Amino acid sequence: NMPAPQRQCATYRNVQYDVMTRYVDGILALRPGQRPDFTIFATISGVDPDVLDANSRPELVNGIEVTTVDIEAILADASMIERANAQNNDLEPSCVRPNPMDPGNANLDNEAYPPRRLLEVTRGLIEAQAGGVVASICQARDAENGDYTADFSDAVQSIVARIAASLPTSCLPRPLIRGGDNTVFCQILEVLPEGSSCAEQEARGREPEAVRMEGTREVCRVNQVVPTPENIANGQEPSGLGWFYDDYSAELDDDCFRFEEDNRQQIRFTTGAESIPGAKFRLECVSPVVPTGDVADIGSECAGGNQAPCDLDGDDLASFRSRYDREGASLVCDNVTNTCQFACATDADCPGGNVCFGSDDGNEGNNAYCVSPTCQF
pLDDT given for residue 283 in this prediction: 80
Whether the predicted pLDDT of 261 surpasses 70: yes
pTM for this model (two decimals): 0.53
72-81 long-range contacts (CB < 8 A, ≥24 apart) are 72/123, 74/47, 74/119, 74/134, 75/116, 75/119, 75/120, 77/48, 77/51, 79/48, 79/51, 79/114, 80/47, 80/51, 80/114, 80/116, 80/119, 81/114
Please count the other Cβ atoms lying within 10 Å of the Cβ belonging to residue 97: 23
Tell me if 51 sits within 8 A of 114, measured CB to CB. Answer: no
How many Cα neighbours within 13 Å face the side chain of 53? 6
Tell me if 130 sits within 8 A of 40, measured CB to CB. Answer: yes
What confidence tier does 374 reach under pLDDT thresholds 50, 70, 90? Answer: low
- The pLDDT of 226-251, averaged and rounded, is 94
pLDDT given for residue 253 in this prediction: 85
pLDDT given for residue 353 in this prediction: 77
- Strand-strand pairing, 217-222 and 339-342: unpaired
pLDDT given for residue 31 in this prediction: 81
Whether the predicted pLDDT of 164 surpasses 80: no
pLDDT given for residue 203 in this prediction: 95
Q: Give percent above pLDDT 70 in the chain.
A: 92
Task: Kindly report which listed range (76-80, 141-145, 297-301, 364-368) carries the lowest average pLDDT score.
Answer: 297-301
Higher pLDDT, 325 or 352: 325
pLDDT given for residue 105 in this prediction: 95
Q: Where are the beta strands (DSSP E) in the chain?
A: 40-45, 56-61, 64-69, 95-97, 110-112, 131-136, 140-142, 147-150, 170-171, 186-191, 212-214, 217-222, 243-246, 266-269, 280-285, 331-334, 339-342, 355-357, 369-371
List C-alpha distances in Å: 136 to 43, 112, 141: 8, 9, 12
Whether the predicted pLDDT of 280 surpasses 50: yes
pLDDT given for residue 34 in this prediction: 75
pLDDT given for residue 2 in this prediction: 58
Average pLDDT in the chain: 87
pLDDT given for residue 62 in this prediction: 65
pLDDT given for residue 184 in this prediction: 80
**pLDDT (tens digit, 9 = 90+) per residue, 284-336?**
776 545 456 678 988 887 878 899 999 999 989 998 998 888 889 999 998 88
Positive/negative CA dihedral, 248, 249, 253, 256:
negative
Task: Kindly report which listed range (110-114, 140-144, 288-292, 366-370) carries the lowest average pLDDT score.
Answer: 288-292
pLDDT given for residue 377 in this prediction: 34
Higher pLDDT, 297 or 352: 297
**pLDDT (tens digit, 9 = 90+) per residue, 34-52?**
778 889 999 999 999 999 9
pLDDT given for residue 375 in this prediction: 45
Residue 155 is which amino acid?
A
pLDDT given for residue 245 in this prediction: 93
How many Cα neighbours within 13 Å face the side chain of 330? 15
pLDDT given for residue 98 in this prediction: 96
